[in-house]
């Protein structure tokens, strides 16, 4: 396990109890889940895999629209929050997995791999995209949401950040190099964030959809 991975585990274990109380995060998760349902779109039968599911704000919104959802996170406390919600809800098709995707990919193949605001925490994006490609069934799709490239002010000096967002053209090239086709970006949300100087800035969030060829 890398220092970056451990920083993320420590940080998200500390944040888990208050994660859902921030309306900015809830609004982003809702926008991403709505966009996944519109842009992918879903048939209700998919074997889906989400990495970096956190407390499950996107997971719980997408799960009713797929056949089965495997939700993975490296933070035990974020997953504990998701477990509480699963136990209190009537959702029966979510299975959770604790682990670091870069170290221990899940077993099996999936029709859909989704993620929201997690790509920027994983250092080697190019290798990760190769891992995701291998985890997909032929014809399977990814739907990944994250920040557009920014100047670093979104996270400031918080630990565990590997990328200050992504350049869409560069990510398109990396997806193509991993074998993905039909790559398509949408701007699905503008996240508003108050800066240290009291001003408010808007950070665009993209959703990229791409497919493994049949």
Ligand X SMILES: C[S@@+](CC[C@H](N)C(=O)[O-])C[C@H]1O[C@@H](n2cnc3c(N)ncnc32)[C@H](O)[C@@H]1O
Of residues 38 and 104, the one with the C-beta less far from ligand X: 104
| Of the candidates 170, 165, 168, the residue with the CA atom closest to the CA atom of residue 153 | 165
140 interacts with ligand X by CB under 6 A: no
Q: Does 12 bind ligand X (CB under 6 A)?
A: yes
Distance (Å, rounded) from C-alpha 92 to C-alpha 145?
25
153: left (phi over 0), alpha (psi -120 to 50) or beta: alpha
Give residue number: closest CB to ligand X: 54
Instruction: Pick between residue 86 and residue 117 the one whose CB is nearest to ligand X.
Output: 117
Work out which of 81, 118, 125, 211 binds ligand X, going by CB under 6 A.
Answer: 118
Q: Does residue number 60 form part of the binding site for ligand X (CB under 6 A)? A: no
165 lies in the binding site for ligand X (CB under 6 A): no
Span of 34-42, 66-74, 165-173, 199-207 interacting with ligand X by CB under 6 A: 66-74
- Choose, by CB under 6 A, the member of 69, 78, 97, 119 that binds ligand X: 78
> Token pair of 84, please?
């509480």
Q: Give how many residues touch ligand X by CB under 6 A.
A: 24
Tokens of 172: 């398109």
Instruction: Decide if 132 contacts 72 (C-beta within 8 A).
Output: no
Rounded CA-CA distance 2/154 in Å is 23
Number of other CB atoms surrounding residue 183 within 10 Å: 17
Contacting residues toward ligand X, per CB under 6 A = 5, 8, 12, 25, 29, 51-54, 57-58, 72-75, 78, 100-102, 116-118, 121-122
């Amino acid at each position: 396990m890398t220092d970056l991975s451990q920083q993320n585990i420590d940080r998200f274990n500390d944040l888990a109890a208050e994660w859902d109380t921030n309306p900015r995060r809830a609004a982003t998760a809702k926008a991403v889940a709505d966009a996944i349902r519109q842009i992918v779109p879903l048939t209700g039968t998919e074997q889906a895999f989400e990495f970096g599911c956190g407390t499950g704000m996107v997971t719980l919104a997408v799960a009713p629209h797929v056949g089965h959802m495997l939700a993975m996170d490296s933070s035990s406390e974020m997953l504990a929050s998701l477990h509480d919600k699963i136990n209190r809800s009537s959702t029966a098709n979510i299975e959770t997995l604790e682990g670091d995707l870069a170290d221990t990919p899940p077993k099996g193949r999936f029709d859909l791999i989704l993620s929201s605001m997690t790509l920027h925490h994983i250092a080697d994006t190019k290798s990760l995209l190769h891992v995701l490609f291998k985890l997909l069934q032929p014809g399977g799709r990814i739907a990944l949401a994250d920040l557009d490239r920014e100047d670093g002010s979104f996270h400031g000096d918080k630990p565990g950040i590997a990328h200050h967002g992504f350049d869409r053209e560069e990510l398109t090239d990396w997806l193509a190099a991993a074998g993905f086709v039909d790559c398509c970006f949408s701007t699905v949300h503008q996240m508003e964030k108050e800066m240290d100087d009291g001003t408010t800035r808007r950070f665009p969030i993209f959703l990229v959809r791409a497919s493994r060829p049949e």
